[in-house]
Each structure stands twice: as structure tokens, then as C-alpha cells.
Amino acid sequence: MVSKPKTLFDKIWESHLVDEQDDGTCLIYIDRQLIHEITSAQAFDGLRQTGRKARRPAANLCVPDHNVPTTPGRGGVDEIEDDESRIQLEVLEKNAKEFGLPFFSINDERQGIVHVIGPEQGFTQPGVTLVCGDSHTATHGAFGALAFGVGTSEVEHVLATQTLIQRPAKNMRITVNGSLPTGCSGKDLVLAIIGKIGTAGGTGHVIEYAGSAIEELSMEGRMTVCNMTIEGGARAGLVAPDEKTFEYLKGRPQCPKGAQWEMAVEKWSQLPSDPGAQYDTEVELDVSEIVPQVTWGTSPEDEIGITGEVPNPADVEDENRRSAMERSLEYMDLKPGTKMTEIAVDKVFIGSCTNSRIEDMRAAAEVAKGRRVADSVYAMVVPGSGLVKLQAEEEGLDKIFTEAGFHWREPGCSMCLAMNGDMLQPGERSASTSNRNFEGRQGPGGRTHLVSPMMAAAAAIAGHLTDVRDLMK
Amino acid sequence: MEKFTKLTAVAAPLPIVNCDTDKIIPARFLKTLTRTGLGKNLFDPLRYDPETGEENPDFVLNKPAYRNAEILVAGHNFGCGSSREHAPWALADFGIRCVISTDFADIFFNNSSKNGILLIKVSPEELEMLMESADRGANSTMTVDLENQEITNSDGEKITFDVDPFKKHCLLNGLDDIGLTLQKESSIESYEEKQKASEPWLYA
Ligand code: SF4
């Protein structure tokens, strides 16, 4: 009998089923877990209170990232002045040691944002299930891993049992046709997708990204796209593994070697969706004509091409949408009809798990090279990991940035969520390569415009949002 | 986990669409090491003035009639954004035990039921009706009966709702997921044996 064609998601899901109840509730096996300081303390406490152990310590990797200082030449944890922050980092280290889990300290060159170091270390691999107490875990789907964010109770559940109680998601395929034009990157592509499907468009689904524009993206670009899947409401995004995937992973510290590598590649090559596989929802778009994207509101779906204007809520029929837009514009202090390129920014942030990998650093540096940050702007570049930082320094990118007036920082989440003191002041406006423009995300009263690394560098130089293509002529 | 059976309480209207978890509890309050104590910062950006830190008298939970609300009637796609379980912890610490909306973000949905908070999905028409009931201040008492899957407003109007049978069972009995899963330990062990043979590199 010929079996029913399966999607990439179906294959990973089925191969990880441990148990299925009559009511459809499933117990699935979790191969990998990344752990950081913000969503784990209460999970370890739970284990202690119940006298439970970590079932497979080596299946985890702990690293501080959300709340670490990014000041150049930062010292050890003991030098952090803010008591709460210092204690939070100390507690992570103590918990990792107590439960025997691998741990990178802030002085380890392998430290960085969970979603940057997972792939970097080869901890992320095709076909695995990977979770982290962080919604941007979808990033790892770029490798064909089923990766999704979980809450702290689930972190504890995975530590204790190496499984999660789940229900299968629905399959959605987004086919991205065409080729990205100059001046546009994976970031522009994913913003365009979210603009199309909306922030709840993917709820209940796992999204598989396919099509020529996705195939053409580098692994870094694919990670940027999968990273923002949650902004489209889906918990996990996937790209079928291919030669690029294998090439990126080969030789990474935690990847199989020798004969096992060959075995693994053969297995991974079976993962792509079968021809004729069925999806519950299909979306298609062509990106050959898009222009660099930028957000104007307080939801990632509030995006528009840089050549556009702030939209007018009065033109919108849906009442819910209209009132949400009005509220956004009031918060952002923007008037309908304003040209996007006329919006001045106070701060520029290049970093976050969306855009802090070496390719992002290179793209921003190319725009910054030989230019100056506007006097009115404070601009910072925060590499995603110690290894990205070292690589960038080897290539001389740090010099390009500092000579242009950008601040070159130590790795961490930084102004993406503004926990560590890197933040906007009330009323300040940023161009940011991060993933969320929610009210107060980068500091209470702060206003965020999401853009690509190239567009962020261009905004820093111009002092306002601007079309990077004008600088590329 | 605290049991959820039947709740009669004041319901507060919060008609914000796409209310994200950064709004429910902003990142700067995530330095805590416990699950409790976050209630005072629930909805911080809406509840307090960002510059002076004073209460915003217009925000629903600051109004006298709603200070003891235990039910929230919220706009579409409630709880989107960050996976922080601090969001349901903050809701629970404030005293909210039930949120009603037309849709919830997936991760928030899971996190809430693990903390004894019942999330109920209703149709847009039903939400409108409940939003109107909730608008009536201290008279906006509702009864949520999980066993019978029924919401009753102060006029006695009833709405029935769907709930995942497994989640219902756990909420009604206050069951801990980990304990339930560990009853299946032998299945987990045999899964691992099989995987170790076919993908040994995952166990290196
Ligand atoms: S960079 Fe931002 S989005 Fe990414 S993990 Fe850190 S805080 Fe979360």
C-alpha cells in the first residue's frame, strides 16, 4: 500500500510520538532544550520542590542572554550592579551546576542569544524537536527542526520527562515566489508575509516556508524568516533542509562526525514534504517587486514599503482594525499621510535574535562604510554571540562601525526587550532590527519601527527612516 | 495547581485587540525568581502613567467597580507575543481566574491552563453580549461553570462553550501535568531505546 504523502511537520511529529490518548492529546518526545535566565528559575524550583531530576542533562544547553549587560569590556557576573539582574544570572549558573546541565557563562566566547548559539553550536539539527522558554524558538525551524516556544511550566515538564503534552498543529504552507530585489533581505520578506496574513493568521498552525525566494535565502536569512513566525501567530516555522543546511552544520561542535554524519545526512534528506502532501491552509506571494519594509504602528502587521505613507484609519472599514490603528498612531505620535521617509529617529538598534548574525553585521557594515551616524542619533550594534563578534572583528566590521559612530557592544538581547538598561526613554523613537514594535517593548513610552539591518544602518546615517536603495546607487 | 470548578465574580471589559504579553507584564518585571508578586504590575503600561508611575484612573482595573474582578472579557487574539508565563502568573496574582475572548495566542493558552486559569473562546456575537454585560460595573457579575461548560451573566442569559476534555479534566481536579506524564515513563524509556539505535548522534 502506498502511504499518504506527508508534510515535513507530519514526519517530525509522527517520529516523536510517545503516546496518544483517545481524546487526541499526544505526548511528544523533545530532543533539545535551550534554557536562559528569564523563564527557568521557577522551573528549577519546581523540580527541587518535587524532588525530581533532569532526565537527560546533556539534551539541554543553558546560557544567559536576555538580561546581560552589553557594555564593551563587561566583566563577570559579580560586577553587575543591579542586584536583581545579578542574582538572576547567578541563579541560572547555580541551577545549571546543580542539575548537571551544560552552561556557557557571560565570559565564554560561545555565549550569546539562545537562538543564535543553538545553530552555531550544531545543537540545532534537522528533524529534531527543540524547545525553549522563548517565543522566538521558531528560529531553529530554518534547519527543518520542529522548534517552538514554551512557558516555564513546560520548561520544567521537559526537564523532568523529556516530553511535552501537545495536540498536533495544522499545516500551513507559505510559498514565496520570485527573487528578492536589491536592498531587500529576509527581514523585508517576513515583514511582507506578516502584513499579508496578520498577527493571528497562523494561530494553531505550523508554517512551512517554501518557494524560490526561500530556497535562495542563506541559512541566516531563513533564520530571520522563521524567527518572526510567532509574529504571524504560528508557534513554529519550518524550511525543508537542503545542501545549504548541511553545509552550514558540517563540523559544528555538536553535530555528528564521520560515518554518523553520513548517516545523519541521509536521514535528514528524507525530511522534505512529499510531493502531493496536503496543507490545511495555503498562502502564496511574490516578492520580486517588494521595496524595503518598515512598520508604522505597534503590531508587526502594521507594515508598509518605505516609499509609502502612514495610512489613514478613516480608510479602513473594519471597526476593530480602525480603532486599533487609531490607538497605534496615537501611541506612535504619527499623522496619517506622513511620508515614512520623513520620520526622524533618536536611536538605532542593530541586533536581536532576528538580525544579529554575521550576515546581518556584514549587510549593515556595507551601508555604514565611510559614512557618519547623524549627530541626533545614538546607534548601537549588538552582535548575537561572542563568536559572531569575533568573526566580525576578524573581518574588520567593528572598525567600520565605530569609525562611522556606531557603538560596538558585547552580545545579548539588549534593546530588543530593554531589560538590561539598553532602552528607549519615554517618547523616543527607534529604527530597530528586532521583531516586536509593541507599546513599551523597548522601554516605557518608547516607539519602535522595525526594519532590516541595511535599513537600520541607513536610518542611523540619515537621522530619519530612509530608503537604503538611495545609498546603494 | 488550584482547582477550577465554578466561579461567580465581577467581569471586567478589556476590548483591546491583539493585547500582547508585553502589555500584560512588561519585560522589566521579569527579573523575579518566583511565580508570585506580579499582580501589582499586571497591565503596567495601561494601569500606570509611564512617567509619574501614578494610577491611570481611566483604566478599567483602576475603577472601583472592577478592582476585585476575577474574570476578564478581552478583545481578539489576547496574549500574543512573548512566551513569558509571567503573564498568567501576573493575572493569577491579581486574582483573575478566567479570560473570555474570541481567540487566544497558542503559547499563552497553554501557559494559562497550567496555572489554573480557564480561557474560554466564544463567537464575536457572544463576545459582544458579554462585553456589554461586563460594561455594567459592579453589576457585571458572571458565573462560569466549567463542569457544565456554561457562562451566565447577571441577567441570567446563558452561553455554552467548548473546552479541551483533557484540559477540563486537569483544571477540575487541579492535576499536575508532570505527575501524569511520569505515569508513562516506560513508554518514554522505550522511545529513547529506539531512538538511540536509529539516531545515536543525538545521545553522544
Ligand atoms: S533577542 Fe529579543 S526576541 Fe530574541 S530572544 Fe532575546 S529578547 Fe527574545
Residue-wise pLDDT for A102-116, tens only, equals 999 999 999 999 999
**What DSSP string runs through A167-224?**
-PPEEEEEEEES-PPTT--HHHHHHHHHHHH-TTTTTTEEEEEESHHHHHS-HHHHHH
Is pLDDT of A1 > 60?
no
Measured in degrees and rounded to the nearest 5, phi and psi for residue A160 equal -80, -30
Q: Which residues of A touch B107 (CB under 8 A)?
A: 135, 148-151, 235
Q: What is the pLDDT of residue A2?
A: 65
**For A322-340, what is the mean pLDDT?**
96
Please report which helix (H) or strand (E) contains residue A227, including its range: helix A219-227
Name the minimum distance, in Å, from the CA of A400 to any CA of chain B.
Answer: 32
Name the minimum distance, in Å, from the CA of B39 to any CA of chain A.
Answer: 17
Residue A249 Cβ < 6 Å to ligand 1: no
Inter-chain residue contact A438 with B202, CB threshold 8 Å: no
Residue A228 Cβ < 6 Å to ligand 1: no
* Confidence class for position A3, pLDDT limits 50, 70, 90: confident
Distance CA A25, CA A158 (A): 16
Strands (E), B39-178: 71-74, 98-101, 118-121, 141-145, 150-152, 158-160
**Range 124-183 of B in CB contact (< 8 A) with A:** 164-166, 177-178, 180-182
Residue of A65, A136, A226, A437 to mutate, ligand 1, most atoms within 8 A of C-beta: A136
C-alpha cell of residue A244: 545549504
Q: By alpha-carbon position, which residue is closest to atom 2 of ligand 1?
A: A416
* Mean of the per-residue pLDDT values of chain A: 96
pTM above 0.95?
no
Name the minimum distance, in Å, from the CA of A221 to any CA of chain B.
Answer: 21
Q: Which residues of B touch A450 (CB under 8 A)?
A: none
**For residue A75, how many other CB atoms are within 10 A of its CB?**
11
Name the minimum distance, in Å, from the CA of A437 to any CA of chain B.
Answer: 10
**For B112-134, what is the mean pLDDT?**
95
Inter-chain residue contact B106 with A84, CB threshold 8 Å: no
Residue of A67, A132, A352 to mutate, ligand 1, most atoms within 8 A of C-beta: A352
**For B45-57, what is the mean pLDDT?**
92
Q: Which residues of A touch B105 (CB under 8 A)?
A: 200, 203, 233
Nearest to B28 among A42, A157, A419 (CB): A419
Tens digits of per-residue pLDDT, A269-306? 999 999 999 999 999 999 999 999 999 999 999 999 99
Residue A389 Cβ < 6 Å to ligand 1: no
3-state percent breakdown (helix, strand, coil) of chain A, nearest 5: 40, 15, 45
Decide if A138 contacts A237 (C-beta within 8 A).
yes
Inter-chain residue contact B84 with A39, CB threshold 8 Å: yes
Name the minimum distance, in Å, from the CA of A132 to any CA of chain B.
Answer: 9
A3 secondary structure, DSSP code: P
Name the minimum distance, in Å, from the CA of A417 to any CA of chain B.
Answer: 6
Nearest residue on chain A to B23, alpha-carbon basis: A439
Decide if A222 contacts A215 (C-beta within 8 A).
no
* Confidence class for position A260, pLDDT limits 50, 70, 90: very high
**For residue B166, how many other CB atoms are within 10 A of its CB?**
19
Residue A350 Cβ < 6 Å to ligand 1: no
Distance CA A444, CA A419 (A): 11
Residue A66 Cβ < 6 Å to ligand 1: yes
Residue of A34, A35, A66 to mutate, ligand 1, most atoms within 8 A of C-beta: A66
* Confidence class for position A473, pLDDT limits 50, 70, 90: confident
A18 vs B: CB within 8 A: yes
Instruction: Determine how β-strand B141-145 pairs with β-strand B6-14.
Output: antiparallel
Inter-chain residue contact B81 with A230, CB threshold 8 Å: yes
Tens digits of per-residue pLDDT, A87-102? 999 999 999 999 999 9
Please report which helix (H) or strand (E) contains residue A246, including its range: helix A243-249
Q: Give me ligand 1 centre to Cα A384, in Å.
A: 10
Q: What is the pLDDT of residue A23?
A: 87
**Range 55-94 of B in CB contact (< 8 A) with A:** 75-77, 80-85, 88
Inter-chain residue contact B110 with A199, CB threshold 8 Å: no
Name the minimum distance, in Å, from the CA of B53 to any CA of chain A.
Answer: 11
% pLDDT > 70, chain A: 100
A144 vs B: CB within 8 A: no
**For B158-164, what is the mean pLDDT?**
96
CB burial of A127-153 (b: ≥16 within 10 Å; e: otherwise) equals bbbbbbbbbbbbbbbbbbbbbbbbbbb
Decide if A89 contacts A77 (C-beta within 8 A).
yes
Q: Which residues of B touch A137 (CB under 8 A)?
A: 83
- Rounded to 10 degrees, the C-alpha dihedral A186/A192/A198/A199 comes to 30
Tens digits of per-residue pLDDT, A332-379? 999 999 999 999 999 999 999 999 999 999 999 999 999 999 999 999
Q: Point out the least confidently predicted range of A338-342, A431-435, B51-55.
A: B51-55
**For A2-27, what is the mean pLDDT?**
94
Nearest by Cα to A105 from A69, A74, A67, A62: A62
Nearest to A438 among B22, B185, B188 (CB): B22
Residue of A38, A39, A40, A65 to mutate, ligand 1, most atoms within 8 A of C-beta: A65
Residue A34 Cβ < 6 Å to ligand 1: no
Is pLDDT of A161 > 70?
yes
Q: Which residues of B touch A18 (CB under 8 A)?
A: 184, 187-188, 191
Nearest to B50 among A264, A417, A445 (CB): A445
Beta-carbon contacts of residue A167 (< 8 Å; ≥ 6 apart) = A24, A25, A26, B164
Mutate to test the interface with A, among B35, B56, B83, B201 (most CBs of A within 10 A): B83
Tens digits of per-residue pLDDT, A58-86? 999 999 999 999 999 998 999 998 999 99
Q: What is the pLDDT of residue B188?
A: 98
**Range 260-279 of A in CB contact (< 8 A) with B:** 260, 263-264, 267
Q: By alpha-carbon position, which residue is closest to atom 4 of ligand 1?
A: A353
Nearest residue on chain A to B199, alpha-carbon basis: A264
C-alpha cell of residue A109: 566566547
Q: Give me ligand 1 centre to Cα B173, in Å.
A: 36
